[in-house]
Amino acid sequence: MDAALNAAQTLAKKNIASVFTHLGENVSDRAEARQVAEHYVRVIQQIRQLDMSAEISVKLTQLGLDLSLEFCAENLDRIIREEKPTSTVWVDMESSNYVDATLGLYRQALKKYPNVGICLQAYLYRTKDDLDDLLPLRPSIRLVKGAYKEPASVAWPEKRRVDDSYFDLAQQMLRAKQSGNCPRPAFGTHDVALIRRLSQFCAERGFSKNDLEIQMLYGIQRAEQERLADDGCRSVVLIAYGNYWYPWFVRRLAERPANLWFMLRNVFAS
């Protein structure tokens, strides 16, 4: 956590905000899930003490979703209660078999706390309907392409279709912002061509630069993160930390096998 806080302080000097996530998923022990919730409470308190521009993002299976919906809801509630109303607690979206449960708990939390945001995945066929259903509730949404290996029965296998779906959903979120139905649309992507299209759409629609929020992973497309911040957009970096890194790392490798060669080259060069 200290390393993550240091990284965020360095980013803050470049006008880049941070979102912290403690690596971990599918916790099957109640005590451990409670500890995760308490950990996030301490992180929120630390962010407040240090007066940092930082938020947190949580995975519901790390808060006990596999154990019980009520138990997971309690842990989520414990975290959001601690957050100040002007900061968002983000809820990650996991593999497709968790989408219904995640959206159900998200709706429940949103009724009580307007400052909770949800991640939606553009690769799922269902996301268009999920977005339509959520917008009347005024959700904050982080749109991503989707990181899990999903069957063709639920998600587009072709990248081009995922990119098209992303841009369609993104436009809908931005239009909803203009009509007051999506207070905070955020775009979790490193796809520079897509970011250009989103910037252009925002400019044509009369948004201010600061209305465009792009979130990226720590260390990926650094130059673009800085360019966006310098240009007046809201540039945010998700910093993942902790010991339970393996499944997360494997998903990142699957997205970009070139990373494996990059890593091996660095191991053998050192």
Ligand X SMILES: Cc1cc2nc3c(=O)[nH]c(=O)nc-3n(C[C@H](O)[C@H](O)[C@H](O)COP(=O)(O)OP(=O)(O)OC[C@H]3O[C@@H](n4cnc5c(N)ncnc54)[C@H](O)[C@@H]3O)c2cc1C
Residues that bind ligand X (CB under 6 A): 92-93, 119, 121, 144-148, 188-191, 215-217, 220, 238, 252, 255-256, 259
Q: Dihedral angle at the C-alpha atoms of 168, 149, 25, 224, nearest 10 degrees?
A: -50
Task: Give the 3-state secondary structure of residue 168.
Answer: helix
Is residue 112 exposed (0-12), middle (13-18) or buried (19+ Cβ within 10 Å)?
A: exposed
Whole-angstrom distance, CA of residue 146 vs CA of residue 144: 6
Record the tokens describing residue 218, joined without a space: 């720590």
Q: Closest CB to ligand X among 76 and 206?
A: 76
Whole-angstrom distance, CA of residue 242 vs CA of residue 1: 7
Closest CA to 37 of 93, 84, 75: 75
Q: Closest CB to ligand X among 5 and 91?
A: 91
> Rounded to the nearest whole angstrom, what is the least distance from the CB of residue 241 to ligand X in the complex?
14
Whole-angstrom distance, CA of residue 80 vs CA of residue 192: 32
**142 is an active site residue:** yes
Q: Closest CB to ligand X among 202 and 238?
A: 238
Q: Closest CB to ligand X among 76 and 147?
A: 147
| DSSP secondary structure letters along 139-204 | -EEEEE---S---TTTB--SHHHHHHHHHHHHHHHHHHHHTTS-S-EEEE---HHHHHHHHHHHHH
Task: Find the catalytic residue in 34, 66, 77, 92.
Answer: 92
> Rounded to the nearest whole angstrom, what is the least distance from the CB of residue 187 to ligand X in the complex?
8
Place of tokens 């296998």: 157
> Rounded to the nearest whole angstrom, what is the least distance from the CB of residue 206 to ligand X in the complex?
26
> Rounded to the nearest whole angstrom, what is the least distance from the CB of residue 263 to ligand X in the complex?
10
Residue type (1 letter), 40: Y
**92 is an active site residue:** yes
Q: Closest CB to ligand X among 121 and 165?
A: 121
> Rounded to the nearest whole angstrom, what is the least distance from the CB of residue 146 to ligand X in the complex?
5
Write phi, then psi, for 223 (nearest 5 degrees): -60, -40
Task: Find the catalytic residue in 51, 66, 130, 142.
Answer: 142
Q: Which residues are catalytic?
A: 92, 142
